[in-house]
Structure 1
Amino acid sequence: MTRVYMNRWFSVAYHYINMIRNNPDGEPFEFYGTHPDINHMSLLAADHAGTEPAVFGLEYVEFCVDFCKRNSIDIFIPRLHMEEISRYVHLFDEIGTKVMVCRDIQLLDSMIEKDKFYEALADKNLVSIPDYRVVNTAAEFKRAYEELTAAGHKVCFKPTKSEGGMGFRIINNERNPLRELYGYVTLSTTFKQAYETLSSTDRFDSLMVMELLEGIEYSIDCVATAEGELLTAIPRRKSTGRTYLLEETPELLDIANRIAKALRIPYAFNIQVRYSHGVPKLLEINPRMSGGLYITCLSGVNMPYLAVQALQGKAIAPPVPRFGIQAGYVEQPLIMK
């Protein structure tokens, strides 16, 4: 029986645990999960659940090491504080726990801070990068906005270090605040509103001011070996609402292959791109299973289990995914107790 631990994951961990558990080889697994909220949905599929302490840095890593040691964990699939866990991964090696994390600290740190990652990729000819500026003051924000609009771009901004859509805003000077009060919550703000808010402090955490990409968005879910050799890449096209299309797009598969060969990211990772005037441009790369991976697995490829096999060092034949699948998702009630 292989024991797997997942720390503070999103609620989609429910799906990934069940996919690994219901693997086609019948390999038995036992799952452990921790989260600050013991009632979090990510823990629902776990066989054993625990509460995480409010600690950070090395202290948090030591909590995870102790948890793995006490529960004889074979495989640790982290989400929270991946960079700290990678920095001290030798502590897990010492107790015999395999960790699904990129061990290239410099690469991992750069993927987490988007501006550093764009800088690292600038001369590698792997994928087009959006036009952007990094700013820390209101004056720099104003200058960046003016330069990008002069270049013909619509403009958005987001923190250099954030997860998902946190802090993302679109600059739209045609907003009607009264009409928006009666509508849905919007991600838009005017330049004036953003500038006035940022002017309230002398200096703020780094923001990326960048061209707004308005074309079709894709998530390319990937799995590679421990050495970073790509086993599979499946583009998932984001459509309207909750609709997705698993699409065999040679241009995107080529991007995935180039990135895999150049960066050697191990195990599960996700490349997000969005088209602008027919050109796919990089949004970000997440060095973990993506939030929508369970939809990609409708291709017939059990990607969470594939990543586990890669971590175990097993010989894996590259799978053959089914493309052309249109899919979506709906809420399903689950009894927790």
Structure 2
Amino acid sequence: MRVWFNRSFSSVHTAIELIRQADREGRFTILHTNPNPKSPVARLAHEFQSEPTGLATADYIDWCVAFCREQRVDIFVPGREATAIAGAHARFEAVGTRVQSAASEAALQLIHDKARFYAETDLPAAPVAEFRHFEDAAGFEAAYDGLRRRHAKLCVKPSHSIYGLGFAVLDEERNSAELLMAGAEYHVSLGDFRAGLEKLGTFRSMLLMEFLEGREYSVDCVGDGGRLVTAVVRRKSGQAGAGQRIDQRADILQATAQLCASHGLNGIFNVQFREAGGKPRLLEINPRMSGGIGMACVAGPNLPYISLRGFADGYDGLEITPVRDGIRVAELARAVELA
């Protein structure tokens, strides 16, 4: 079977490597496209081709459909433009290609809009942090006045973002220079932030939220159209170099299964939680592979291979390695030669 991974996040390298390790029968021929011919993934895939840049979404989908037809792609695992591609499955089916989208187009749009996602989420096992939405300085002040009365520490982040870009804890004591000198990452001076909002006028949609002080958990999952097939829970450490602990907490797995069912999640996805008062609270769903997918797979299940093999043949009867709960894992960088 010919399987295409288009341009995606850096974790696609790990995913393809894990699939090739597990595919002892040689069933899958992996294709990868990227605008950068020096991408390390170009050496790892069975076949590599360049991908166009600068195309509008509709034009890019046209290119993808043509690529699938010309390259006889059986399964397409989209990274770039994954949300729009999820709404075009019929076009790909017409040329003989099945698309493994993480969810429907509507579900992906909801997941990516954190303000709407938080407002609509009902998850008693791991409720979202209390939040307010704002788009101007006056909206921030109203939100701050309401939340600060109930929470000692608040944070901000954009409604639409990846990799935690734009997230910051509001520091009420120090200015920006003091925070810089202290090396306080992901912190912003409340006074400087307020002054900046006044100068901006209006800006992109933002969230003001209670800051959750507890430990963070990252759950790497495989779903089958809303059924949680398997999941690995990684508990992150606050100590540099200490790695992460595999911690298969029943309450976190229960919350993850509920989210999978509620949003019809499919293939590989990731869910982030953080503790408050010893109870998990939902941070977000990432409808894609996480950067830590390799660490999760050290614990047993080869998630990229399970996801692809299950999508190709069905999950019934698929042997899934049990998770080695309690082990500590880490990820090491390695150097490679580029072609």
TM-score by length of 2: 0.92
**Which structure ranks higher in relative contact order (CA pairs < 8 Å, sequence separation ≥ 6)?**
2
Letter in 2 for 1:62: D
- Is the contact made by 2:301 and 2:323 (CA closer than 8 Å) also made in structure 1? yes
User: Does 2:311 align with 1:311?
Assistant: yes
Q: Is the 8 A contact 1:137 1:202 kept in 2?
A: yes
Contact 1:218–1:237 under 8 Å retained in 2: yes
Aligned to 2:107: 107
1:33 — aligned with what?
A: 32
Contact 1:224 1:310 in 2 (8 A): no
Counterpart pick for 2:236 among 232, 235, 238 = 238
Q: SS in structure 1 opposite 2:297? A: helix
CA distance in 1, matches of 2:145, 2:100: 43
Q: Distance in 1 between matches of 2:64 and 2:116?
A: 28
Q: Deviations over 1:221-240 (max 9, x none)?
A: 11122x32211111011112
**Distance across 2 between alignment mates of 1:184 and 1:311:** 46
Give the structure 1 partner of residue 194 of structure 2: 195
Q: Given that residues 219 and 236 in structure 1 are in contact (C-alpha distance below 8 angstroms), is that contact kept between their aligned partners in structure 2? A: yes
SS in 2 for 1:192: helix
CA distance in 1, matches of 2:178, 2:159: 31
Contact 2:84–2:105 under 8 Å retained in 1: no
Residues in 1 aligned to 2:300 and 2:23: alpha-carbon distance in whole angstroms: 11
> SS in structure 2 opposite 1:9?
coil
Q: How many angstroms apart in 2 are the aligned matches of 1:330 and 1:153? A: 37
CA distance in 2: counterparts of 1:185 and 1:153, whole angstroms: 18
- 1:183 deviates by 5.4
Which residue of the partner structure matches residue 170 of structure 1? 169
Question: How far, CA to CA, are the matches of 2:248 and 2:76 in structure 1?
Answer: 32
How many angstroms does 1:120 deviate by? 2.0
The alignment partner of 1:165 has SS state of coil
1:158 CA drift (Å): 0.9
The answer to whether 1:54 aligns with 2:24 is no
Q: Does 1:130 align with 2:129?
A: yes
CA distance in 1, matches of 2:184, 2:8: 26
Q: Which amino acid aligns with 1:233?
A: A
CA-CA distance at 1:160 after TM superposition: 0.5
**What TM-score do the two structures reach when normalised by structure 1?**
0.92
For 2:137 and 2:199, the matched residues in 1 are separated by 9
Q: In percent, how many aligned pairs have the same letter?
A: 29
CA distance in 2, matches of 1:177, 1:163: 24
| Residue matched to 1:324 | 326
Q: Count how many residue pairs are aligned between Structure 1 and Structure 2.
A: 334
CA distance in 2, matches of 1:244, 1:320: 18
Question: 1:28 Cα deviation (Å)?
Answer: 3.0
For structure 2, which runs of at least 5 residues remain unmatched after alignment?
none
The counterpart of 1:336, out of the listed 312, 335, 338, is 338
Q: What amino acid maps onto 2:126 in structure 1? A: V
TM superposition shift of 1:176 = 5.4
**Contact 1:87–1:103 under 8 Å retained in 2:** no
Q: Following TM superposition, by how much is the alpha carbon of 1:180 offset from its aligned partner in structure 2, in angstroms?
A: 4.5
Work out whether residues 223 and 266 of structure 1, in 8 Å CA contact, stay in contact via their aligned partners in 2: yes
2:204 equivalent in structure 1: 205
Deviates more, 1:242-251 or 1:290-299: 242-251
Q: Which residue of 2 aligns with 1:69?
A: 69
Q: Distance in 2 between matches of 1:287 and 1:126?
A: 20
Partner of 2:281: 281
Alpha-carbon displacement from aligned partner over 1:122-154 (angstroms, at most 9, x marks no partner): 3x5353110001101111112212221111241
Kindly provide the CA deviation profile for residues 246-265 of structure 1, in whole angstroms up to 9, marking residues without a partner as x: 11211212212222333331
User: Once the 2 structures are TM-superposed, how far is the Cα of residue 39 of structure 1 from its aligned partner?
Assistant: 2.0
The structural deviation recorded for 1:320 is 1.6
> Alignment partner of 2:195: what SS?
helix
1:264 aligns with 2:264: yes
The root-mean-square deviation of aligned C-alpha atoms, in Å, is 1.9
- Structure 1 gaps of 5+ residues are none
Is the Cα contact below 8 Å between 2:179 and 2:188 reproduced in 1? no
For 2:189 and 2:311, how far apart are their aligned partners in 1? Answer: 47
* 8 Å CA contact retained: 1:232, 1:319: no
Shift of 1:108: 1.4
**Cα 1:45–1:319 shift into 2, 3 Å:** same
Contact 1:14 1:44 (C-alpha < 8 Å) held by counterparts: no
1:186 offset after TM fit, Å?
2.4
Deviations 1:83-110 (A, max 9, x none): 1111112111111112110452221111
Asked if the contact 1:5/1:77 (under 8 Å) is kept, the reply is yes
- The amino acid across from 1:86 in the alignment is A
Partner amino acid, structure 1, of 2:307: A
Structure 1 residue 298: Cα displacement: 0.4
1:51/1:141 Cα in 2 relative to 1: closer, same or farther (>3 Å)? Answer: same
Alpha-carbon separation, structure 2, partners of 1:64 and 1:184? 44
